[in-house]
Amino acid sequence: MSFVLSLITFLPAAAALLLVVVPTGRPGRFFLRAWVAVAAIEMALVVALWVAYDPRAGYQFTENLPWIPSAGVGYHVGVDGISLPLIAMTAALFLACAVYSLREARRPRAYVCLFLGLQTVCTGVFVALDLIVFFVFFDLSIVAMYFLIAGWGHGEAAKAAALKFFLYTFVGSVVLLLGFIGLFLASSPHTFDIVALTKADPLAGRGLYAGVVLLALGIGFAIKTPTVPFHTWLPPAHTEAPAAGSAILAGVLLKLGTYGFVRIAMPLLPGAWRRFALVFIILGALSAVYGALVALAQRDFKRMIAYTSVNHMGFVVLGIGAAGVLAGTDAQARTLAVTGAVTQMVSHGLITGALFLLSGVLWDRTASYDIEAHSGLAGPAPAFAGLTAVAAFASIGIPGFSGFVAEFQIFAGSLGSQVAATAIAVSSIVVTAALFLRALQRMLAGPLHLPERPSGVARFADLTTREAAAVVPLLVASAAIGVAPRWLLDVIEPAARNLVHLVGG
């Protein structure tokens, strides 16, 4: 399996290139079915990778080939217990979106090729063990998502949202690159290799220099996450994107930022991370509360879900920040916080991906996300109502779903050293529960009421087999983690311990 990571990474892009040259005249369903087939093969390859992975052995399935040797850049890829669950979550979410999109009628060839390319660059970020390889994949994700929002979003507002998304996140990428160059210049010999930089710790004892580099990395990753106050691009991008685009944007692209903190900022700058851990703790708690409170004020169902992403990513930042605080805690607590943060990344991808696909069903039926304009949907659409309720309760973090396992670990690992910040973050769960319960009560209960349509027809069809087949596996996976999490935690925990050891000095 020496080249399995390259196969998993580049198979979608290779399929996209083949579909680009397919002669014109093929029906749209040919491209959509091809996407499902490729996504299913990807999922099977990732399952095989998971089965062959040994949690005790560190980086595995590595490939290290010279790319730009004169600049210290190599094609170095590999997986560990932090990246493997995110690769699996990515494969599952793209497969769900492929199934959901089987009825897409607008320029299906371009639509499919953009999603296939996006899957390659997202997977590439999670396998990269070289800063420049990481950056190339990280930056290309912006391009594919820009065209998906602008080309398949909701009208003219989608173009403005796509432009704001691109410019905002591109600035973050530029700042991030400057941080990478700072690490390169500090190393001797100069290299962009993440493994070599982790061993060398080139910025140890270089207080101001290390602080500036961490600031650059922090801004770049915080914009992508997004963390308050760098979150303003997120709500319009989510609201205007097509449902599958929103699912990937929330489920996968936001994790590129939090993963960057865990893969690069923490192990490569352990001293600076310890010194400034409190900053990340404050930003995490602030994001958790702010996201929940602003979500509570929304009338737009999709925009409400978007702000809950700010809330949930705040929990992740709180957990990884707490892992840098040595006083008043121990290695077990810090490991628990990191494990919870990675579990939350996976959990949020599954649950919020399902919620955004369900919001797409709402748009397909009524061309509206207005919570106040809908009521009584449980009558004509019991399957839609049931799955929406399940996804909402999973997002709240009730026991039995992955959100509970993740949040419990984050709070348990953070509470010992950060009582105030953890208490503030925990309070946001009550707000999140209130906003979801309000939305469910308004939209699903009572007499049937739908937004006015030009046709004058007022009906709400229940989930189709295709829509259910896209959403149900995501919620089943969340429940599998919530009920029996050991199969996931056994993979994450050894890598989390190694990270905590690096940060703890």
The per-residue pLDDT for range 285-299, each reduced to its tens digit, is 999 999 999 999 999
Cα–Cα dist 361/367, whole Å: 9
Give me the residues paired with residue 193 across strands.
Answer: 130
Tens-place pLDDT, residues 42-61: 999 999 999 999 998 889 99
Question: Could you count the other beta carbons within 10 Å of the beta carbon of residue 452?
Answer: 10
Collect all residues with Cβ–Cβ distance below 8 Å to 469 and sequence separation of at least 6: 99
Collect all residues with Cβ–Cβ distance below 8 Å to 211 and sequence separation of at least 6: 272, 275, 276
User: Where do we find the tokens 């069809």?
Assistant: 461
pLDDT of residue 254: 92
Residue 237: both structure tokens together: 């991008």
Residue 244: exposed, middle, or buried by beta-carbon count in 10 A (0-12, 13-18, 19+)?
buried
Q: Could you tell me the CA-to-CA distances from 96 to 30, 31, 354 in Å, in that order?
A: 17, 16, 9
Which amino acid belongs to residue 3? F
Collect all residues with Cβ–Cβ distance below 8 Å to 297 and sequence separation of at least 6: none
pLDDT of residue 72: 85
Tens-place pLDDT, residues 342-398: 999 999 999 999 999 999 999 988 888 999 999 999 999 999 999 999 999 999 999
Collect all residues with Cβ–Cβ distance below 8 Å to 460 and sequence separation of at least 6: 365, 366, 377, 380, 381, 384, 448, 450
Cα–Cα dist 453/460, whole Å: 12
Asked if 341 contacts 410 with a C-beta cutoff of 8 angstroms, the reply is yes
Q: Specify the DSSP element, H or E, that contains 63.
A: strand 60-68
Q: Could you tell me the CA-to-CA distances from 353 to 262, 325, 329, 470 in Å, in that order?
A: 22, 32, 34, 10
User: Where do we find the tokens 């600076």?
Assistant: 272
Most confident region among 2-6, 186-190, 430-434, 455-459 by mean pLDDT: 430-434
pLDDT, average across residues 308-325:
93
Q: Which of 261, 265, 194 is nearest to 226 (CA)?
A: 261
pLDDT at 139 over 90: yes
- Max CA pair span of the chain: 71
pLDDT at 131 over 60: yes
Give me the residues paired with residue 76 across strands.
Answer: 64
Please tell me the pTM assigned to this model.
0.95
Collect all residues with Cβ–Cβ distance below 8 Å to 373 and sequence separation of at least 6: 366, 449, 450, 451
CA atoms within 13 A on the CB side of 420: 4
Question: Helix or strand or coil: residue 487?
Answer: helix
Cα–Cα dist 16/282, whole Å: 42
pLDDT at 252 over 90: yes
Cα–Cα dist 284/227, whole Å: 7
pLDDT of residue 328: 66
180-194, 210-224, 325-339, 415-429: range with lowest mean pLDDT: 325-339
Asked if 387 contacts 354 with a C-beta cutoff of 8 angstroms, the reply is yes
Cα–Cα dist 432/342, whole Å: 21
CA angle 112/240/123 to nearest 5° reads 45
Give me the residues paired with residue 128 across strands.
Answer: 77
pLDDT of residue 207: 83
Cα–Cα dist 158/241, whole Å: 7
pLDDT of residue 480: 97
Q: Which of 159, 160, 125 is nearest to 141 (CA)?
A: 125
